[in-house]
Chains A and B, each alone.
Chain A
Amino acid sequence: MTNTVASLFKNGKRTILVADDEFINRAILSEMLQDEYDIITAENGEEAYDIIQSHSKTLSLILLDLIMPKMGGLELLSVIKNRNEYSGIPVIVLTTDQESEVVSLNTGASDFIPKPYPRQSVVKARIHRAIELSEDRQIISDTQNDVITGLYTGEYFYEYAEAYDKYHPDTDMDAVILGISNYNVLLERYGKEKCIQLLSMLANELRKQYLNEIAILCHKEMDLFFIYCHHTADHDEKLQEISHSIDCVISGVKLKMGIYKQVDKNLELRNRFVRARMAYNKLQDNYVNEVSVFDDEILKKILFEEQLCADFKTAISEEQFVVYFQPKFDITGNEPVIAGAEALVRWCHPELEMISPGLFIPLFESNGLIYELDDYVWHKTAAAIKDWRGRFDKKIPVSVNISRAEMYDPNLANRLINIVEENGIEISDLHLEITESAYVSDSSMIIDRVNNLRSKGFFIEMDDFGSGYSSLNMIGELPIDALKLDMLFIRSAFKNQNMKMLDIVIDIADCLEVPAIAEGVETEEQYLKLKESGCELIQGYYFSKPLPGDEFEGFLR
């Protein structure tokens, strides 16, 4: 690194060194330039070199006579151009003969000014141009390289990568994204200095590892590095090597890599890295894998999700979302009796046919569309309850799912009450299923919110119990009216014949004095065992799969 351009101004003027052994020549140049520049003069090569050393950060230009005592101009020029810290300072050679001009330019001079000197305006114009070119180059070099790592910054990276492609159209290239897991946590824990050391070390290791692959390297964001390189099968090994090397800075740092191999060059460069990022994003929240390679499956999934988001508004307005109902049976008596239902949404997409909620609920939770979908489902459910009230004698409550994202809406209780009132049903008709994991994530706020819902009269079922790692300590304080056992929990209990755990969970419900509801019950064996253990309510394919409203009505007759 040489001077930053900002350091070159002193009192608004740039500084020029005039090195010439002839007093008269120095005097003429000083007179010509002093209105615009601060002038320092030197009578010989050695004096000039001393000044360059002490003023290297502030010198904008050197005007250099070739023939001087002690150290000649050419020798000095060669020294300046071979020292990194001075090589950025432009030098204009002052010369009386043309022969020296070529030598000077070849040694690194930016330009020459002949003797006798041309008019002031010509001298100034040449000086101005040399300084401008040098400062432009400096600005480019300052902005193209990241200060911490010395690697390219984003925009320049793409420029250089595109230039590389232009001259190597047939070379197989890989687009790779390398990132540091939990960088923010490292920053908090180890401090900025240590993390900068980590980034800088990582950059050095990247350079080493990708030395043979002709790689263009970029420090893209705080904890992300982009690599555009010749295709190789060794990315995994390189990642291991890099991980190993940076371990001495901060031990146990986890690196992740998303790779788009043998890129399609018809794609824009940025889009190739979008693909690498798709692969990289697959590693989020994944603590096992460190490397993910882009493939058509990833693309298909992302395009599919994009289509779902794009089609969402139409789906709502055309009522493509259909509410299904799965009955819950009370098994405490001799015969199972219908005691309720859970409302479950299905998407009857005109092109993609029936889409499972497992594919769109997490997606809509992550992008906020869930609020609109929940409103829609709650409305449809309340309307169905109202409709059944008018036509059937049996009155059963129906539960709706309250997604975790909903728990952050302070207006949740009012939204639900409005729906109840608009449809002319009772609050007790609409049960709310809140997943166990919601309680765990931000428990005191969620508990307040659930308490508020209960105080309004809503019946709260804790959903997916057994999957969310509630502490036993906490369960006693949770405001709930029923425990709903996680389907996977039941399945694995029967698969492993581990009934003890099942009994414990049902005992917990007993202890809390709330009913236990088992979902996902598929076989008679499961049904009988759950009944024997004291489970009160059962939902599952053993009795009925989720049904459209008109089919579900069969249970109400």
Chain B
Amino acid sequence: MATIEELKAYGANTEAALSRLMGNETFYLALVPRIFEDKNFEVLSSAIAEGDLDKAFDAAHSLKGVLGNLELTPILQPMIEITELLRHRENVDYSPYLEEIFRQKEALEKIFEG
């Protein structure tokens, strides 16, 4: 079972997140793993692969909101960057951002698996 300390060590701004969640640590720890079920991660990567930047933007934008609410900074940061690029439908190589996002997501999953 993951702890607040582990999330903090991971890089999450747990203080801000807990302040949003009325200090309810159990609730926070229950919510975080729900992002692993979020289909928008898959939508984001497949839409970029297909070149559907509109769809990719919507997915990134949604994820940015969720990650922001949970203050998961390591994934949130690259997500903010990719969202801004997608917003302007920039024709750039998105793979470094995607790699970073999925790498950080896996790191987080490990905390919860451990």
Contacts and interface: CB of A to CB of B under 8 A. Distances in A.
B93 to A, nearest CB: 24
A120 B17 CA distance: 11
Interface of A: 21-25, 27-28, 31-32, 65, 67, 94, 96-97, 115-120
Interface of B: 16, 19-22, 24, 27, 31, 34-35, 37-38, 40, 58, 61-62, 64-66, 68-71, 87
7 contacts: A24-B31, A67-B62, A94-B65, A96-B65, A115-B65, A116-B65, A116-B69
B69 A28 contact: yes
B68 A116 contact: yes
B85 to A, nearest CB: 14
Contact of B31 (A27, A96, A119, A120): A27
Given A23-B37, A31-B27, A94-B65, 8 more contacts: A22-B40, A22-B66, A28-B21, A65-B65, A67-B62, A115-B69, A116-B71, A120-B20
A25 B20 CA distance: 12
A96 B61 contact: yes
B88 to A, nearest CB: 12
B110 to A, nearest CB: 20
A14 to B, nearest CB: 20
Contacts, number: 59
Main secondary structure of the interface of B (DSSP, over half): helix
A18 to B, nearest CB: 13
A22 B70 CA distance: 12
A97 B61 CA distance: 9
A96 B76 CA distance: 13
Contact of A28 (B31, B35, B58, B64): B31
Nearest to A27: B31
Contact of A24 (B34, B58, B87): B34
Contact of A117 (B20, B24, B35, B87): B20
B20 A96 contact: no
B43 to A, nearest CB: 10
A24 B19 contact: no
B109 to A, nearest CB: 15
A25 B68 CA distance: 10
Interface-centre pick from A23, A25, A28 (highest chain B CB count, 10 A): A28
A120 B58 CA distance: 26
Contact of A96 (B21, B27, B35, B64): B64
B20 A119 contact: yes
B20 A116 contact: yes
A115 B17 CA distance: 12
Contacts of B27: 31
Contacts of B38: 22-24
A28 B17 CA distance: 11
Given A67-B62, A96-B64, A119-B19, A24 B69 contact: yes
A256 B46 CA distance: 76
A394 to B, nearest CB: 108
Given A22-B38, A67-B58, A31 B22 contact: yes
Contact of A120 (B22, B71, B87): B22
